[in-house]
Amino acid sequence: LFGIPGHIYPRDLTAFRQYFDDVLNGPLLGSTLPCRDMAQAIIRHPRAPSRLATLLAAGLLPQTLCERLDIASQPDAAMRLEKWLRRARAFYRITPSKLRYNPAYWQAKKRIARGKQANAPVLGLFYDWLGRFVKIPLGLPTPPPAP
């Protein structure tokens, strides 16, 4: 698979978990400048909310790896992330199911409906309209309106 010989793969799930923990907690990951640069590029991406990206990284990665990757981490990061995720789960439960789908899904449904000469879903029309004014990616690129 992917050019990697089969005998190199972990034998089972337990062996994989051991391998994964060894990589995550070992000295290699994050030890090179390109690795640190890549981590910083992801966290400091212009469209990424930097505080949230840092919280996710610091809350999910081991403290030693955060230090090697130059990710600002605090001892209570995992606890703060769990608190944030509880809020997200509560918000998810009260969000109408149609709004839980990615905007690209509704835009694709709109384009399929238009191709079949059927009525387009309102959310597809809404996200196309909103995409003309909002500078963050909401899904599929929206073509400019016809003159």
- DSSP-derived secondary structure for 110-144: HHHHHHTT-PPPHHHHHHHHHHTT--S--SSPPPP
Reading the chain (147 residues) residue by residue, the pLDDT tens digits are 788 888 888 999 999 999 988 888 888 888 889 988 988 888 888 877 888 888 898 899 888 888 888 888 888 889 999 999 999 999 999 988 877 878 888 888 888 998 999 998 888 888 888 877 776 666 656 566 666
Tell me the backbone φ, ψ of residue 107, rounded to 5 degrees: -65, -40
> What's the CA gap between 38 and 68, in Å, rounded?
12
* pLDDT score, position 28: 84
* pLDDT score, position 29: 85
Claim: this prediction has a pTM higher than 0.75 = no
